[in-house]
Amino acid sequence: MTAPGHNQTKIRVGIDFGTTNSVVVIADENGNTHPARFVFTDHATSETCRTLLCLWMDQDGRRRVMKDAIGLDAIEAYLDDPAESRLIMSMKTYLAQTSFRETRVFGSVMTLEALIARFLTSLMDKAGLNPGDVSATIGRPVRFAGELADDTLGVARLRESFLEAGFPEPNIVLEPEGAGWRFMQRLDQPATVLVGDFGGGTSDFSVMRFDPQGRQRVTTLGHSGVGIAGDQFDYRIISHAVAPALGRDATYRVMGGQPLPVPAEWFASLGRWHRLSLMRTPQTLRDIADVAKTSSEPEKLRSLLRLIEDQEGQNLYRAVGQAKSDLSRQDSTVLRFIHRDLKIEETITRADFESWIAPDLTRLDDAIEGALHQAGLGPDDIDRVFLPGGTSFVPAVRNLVDRRFGADRVDGGSEFVSVAEGLALIERDRHTA
């Protein structure tokens, strides 16, 4: 029975507002969940929306008004006119940073909360929902990003962002708790569970006690986080198997002087999908073309130039993702990518890949140990381990967890929407008796 009150007719939603991607899931009265689907102009419909906001000024009669686009549409809007637009990304990473309060956008001062609210308003519009018509549970990270992050400030600003977007009284819980709540639907008795939430840029681990029939269904015992996730593994493949073919190790000369290394920032951007897209500006393209003229490997740099000009980044990342997926099932694969004169056919063994990600695995292992230590528990005290996300299918990651807890105690889940699904279920259960 639905609890009485003004929220009686509200649509129950869970919102995973992420650094890289955002997801909205609706829970119906029977406890079924339905991810919202987002439609973009020149891209396929998706259950995820890139957390990007582009702003620009447009004429509306006699007035100039600020317009916006989000997700993949934001990148296209920015590239259409980079000089007259402003692209905002990684908004979530600034929530707990006291140094970022506001910024000037086309002569107007906008707070971080106002920028996030603008994104959220457009996100809900794309989902076909009005913030005022929903009751929402929102996820927050275990640890906000940044060296000097103020978690209390991060939660307060996250709440204010949602309030400014028109959400009434948003409920905020830990993101791993959302993932764990989804996993709890599988349980018929109390259990102590380690939940690993692999996001785009961070991984959070929480130790929680679940009691499906109890008055207090979830108790968080310990948690930890680390800035390592699936995107980092893709970056390692690109760095070792792709970047050399595009001139990373080349040199160039200025006015006949001593050889200089090609700018490293180009290849740092190569490994991050949105940063590569943003290189398609006239100035950056001219810089690459100029460096290629005196480069020790001019054709490789011209291949980089053509890759950016022709917007082939998504095809490159698809090939890299396929190679990573292959290595989850077999001992070796061939990374294949062809574009114009560029032809990459690089054999990658699982041993190669695991050596590349070895430093990342160490940090993941340390984060798991940190969550256990805070909970005051050892591996034998954990009944189940839940690892949502594609990263859990990487054998080296799975082996790391299996060695600690035993393979029979480890479960996985849906790749992108698990957290938001759990958040939606929390929101539904908040209003049922």
Q: Output the CA torsion sign for 273, 274, 275, 280.
A: positive
- Residue 399 CB neighbour total at 10 angstroms: 13
Query: pTM higher than 0.85, yes or no?
Result: no
Statement: residue 5 has pLDDT above 70: no
pLDDT of residue 253: 94
Statement: residue 7 has pLDDT above 60: no
- 430 vs 16, which has greater pLDDT? 16
pLDDT tier at 218, thresholds 50, 70, 90: confident
Tokens of 121: 């308003």
CA-to-CA distance for 24 and 129, rounded, in angstroms? 10
Instruction: Classify residue 61 by burial, with Cβ atoms within 10 Å: 0-12, 13-18, 19+.
Output: exposed
pLDDT tier at 175, thresholds 50, 70, 90: confident
Instruction: Classify residue 30 by burial, with Cβ atoms within 10 Å: 0-12, 13-18, 19+.
Output: exposed
| Burial annotation 206-241 (CB, 10 A radius, 16+ → b, else e) | bbbbbeeeeeebbebbbbbbbbbbbbbbbbbbbbbb
Q: Could you report the per-residue pLDDT of 85-140, keeping only the tens digit for each?
A: 888 888 898 898 888 888 888 888 899 999 999 999 999 999 999 999 999 999 99
pLDDT of residue 339: 93
CA-to-CA distance for 19 and 93, rounded, in angstroms? 7
Statement: residue 2 has pLDDT above 50: no
Statement: residue 161 has pLDDT above 60: yes
Task: Identify any residues that bridge with 22 across adjacent strands, giving them in sequence order.
Answer: 17, 49
User: Tokens 């008796």 sit at which residue?
Assistant: 433
Average pLDDT over residues 426-430: 90
Task: Identify any residues that bridge with 14 across adjacent strands, giving them in sequence order.
Answer: 25, 137
Statement: residue 353 has pLDDT above 90: yes
Q: Could you report the per-residue pLDDT of 46-68, keeping only the tens digit for each?
A: 999 999 999 999 988 888 899 99
Average pLDDT over residues 300-324: 89
pLDDT of residue 8: 54
Q: Could you report the per-residue pLDDT of 272-284, keeping only the tens digit for each?
A: 766 776 787 889 9
pLDDT of residue 144: 81
Lowest mean pLDDT among 79-93, 129-143, 147-161, 396-410: 79-93
Statement: residue 416 has pLDDT above 80: no
Taking all residues of the chain, what is their mean pLDDT, rounded to a whole number? 89
* Residue % of the chain over a pLDDT of 70: 95
